[in-house]
Amino acid sequence: MGDSTRSVHAGRPPATAYEPSLPGPVFVSHYHLPGEPTGPYTYGRDENPTWERLEAAIAGLEAPGDPAATTLAFASGMAAVSAVLLSQVRSGQTVVLPSDSYQTTRALQDRLESYGVEVRLAPTAGDGQLAALDGAALLWVETPSNPELDVCDIRRLADAAHAAGALVAVDNTLATPLGQRPLALGADFSVSSGTKALSGHGDLLLGYVTTRDPALTAGVRTWRKTVGAIPGPMEAWLAHRSLATLALRVDRQASNALALAQALLERPEVSGVRHPGLPSDPSHAVASAQMRRFGSVVSFTLPDQAHAERFLGALRLTAEATSFGSVQSTAERRARWGGDAVAPGFVRFSVGVEDPDDIVADVLQALAAAAG
């Protein structure tokens, strides 16, 4: 099946007379449970049929045709990230994190170190994490990286990490499972914030972890159960409903992002334009070898903070917001948060599904207004 067909049908039950194609959310804290608690449903923090349909759908997108692939849904992307890092690593072990990853992932460094875990930071570009693998228990990869959009070779890093005795987790948020399949490239975990492009409408928080190894799945599942980082049934149902348009959205967003990136290359006040789909991008060759779609995010730098803020304030179609992957275009001056090694005028632009000519025209008029 093609990606759009798979996205529409993923995780839905067989057609049944007089039943909905996607049953509504199950709101429950406890189930009628006579006798021994053998399931399939015992308690609302352990199992929910609404999560399970979404989890089956995502597993089918992350690893099509692989019955061993299992997905666990979480309350947010960071709940999923934390579940992998904190369930798989013990005191005295070493974790390798990208020095340029999502800043809240890097913020876990203090927590890990407080538990006696050594944390090494190395850059995504040029497969820089290879040099930090000696003695590591887990390698965390984020590609493309957020917000600078560097790309690393997942297969190369996974092979090297496994040879060194380390597990490999890949944050696949920006690429989505239709853009990149980390498990097929050798990763042990594919982790993502479903808040972004997977659900795609900017109206919920969600995360997930997909693995092929039952022992790894069990460790993450136990973490979710004991910490209680479970998704709400309404959020899970909304995300599952949104999967039907995933291929349509990511295709449109990727083509729109490329059109915007190409237009930005022509502007003299804009520097450092990044998008993996640009043939001139430093990451294009590696991205082309492992990605099927290049994502919705474009990054670029304006001369200074004031210039970037004038630009953002002049946009008419684009909201100034900190997430990405929504059907609506959003943008922000990323340095306002601190924590990322970017210039004061660095802009992360998440391209939506609006008409490409309208997106480009709005950006060009905002750039003209910002230039004064």
pLDDT of residue 38: 87
3-state helix, strand, coil in the chain (%, to 5): 40, 15, 45
Q: What is the pLDDT of residues 27-73, one digit of tens each?
A: 999 999 999 988 899 999 999 999 999 999 999 999 999 999 999 99
Whether 294 shows a pLDDT value over 90: the answer reads yes
Cα–Cα distance for residue pair 239/176, rounded to 1 Å: 14
Q: Tell me, what's the pLDDT at 339?
A: 86
Helix (H, G, I), strand (E, B) or coil at 14: coil
SS3 141: strand
| Average pLDDT of the chain, as a whole number | 97
What Cα–Cα distance (Å) separates residue 207 from each residue in 31, 193, 235, 369?
A: 25, 4, 10, 38
The pTM (predicted TM-score) of the whole model is: 0.96
| Residue-range domains of the chain with CATH | 3-243 (3.40.640.10), 246-371 (3.90.1150.10)
Q: Are strands 118-122 and 207-211 parallel, antiparallel or unpaired?
A: unpaired
Model confidence over 152-198: pLDDT tens digits?
999 999 999 999 999 999 999 999 999 999 999 999 999 999 999 99
Q: How far is CA 169 from CA 50, 161, 222, in A?
A: 26, 10, 18
CB neighbour list of residue 336: distance below 8 Å, 6 or more residues apart? none
* Distance of alpha carbon 210 from alpha carbon 192, whole angstroms: 9
Q: What is the pLDDT of residues 105-128, one digit of tens each?
A: 999 999 999 999 999 999 999 999
- At position 15, the amino acid (one-letter code) is A
Residue 295 and residue 276: Cα distance in Å, rounded? 8
Euclidean distance between CA atoms 200 and 56, whole angstroms? 19
| 236: pLDDT strictly greater than 90 | yes
Judge whether residue 80 has pLDDT over 90: yes
Mean pLDDT, residues 17-24: 95
What's the length of the chain?
Answer: 372
| Both tokens assigned to 370 | 């910002």
| Amino acid identity for residue 128 in this structure | G
pLDDT given at position 372:
81
pLDDT number for residue 305 = 98
Token pair belonging to 156:
């190369």
Q: Give the pLDDT confidence score for residue 20 in this predicted structure.
A: 94
Task: Please report the pLDDT score of residue 39 as a whole number.
Answer: 83
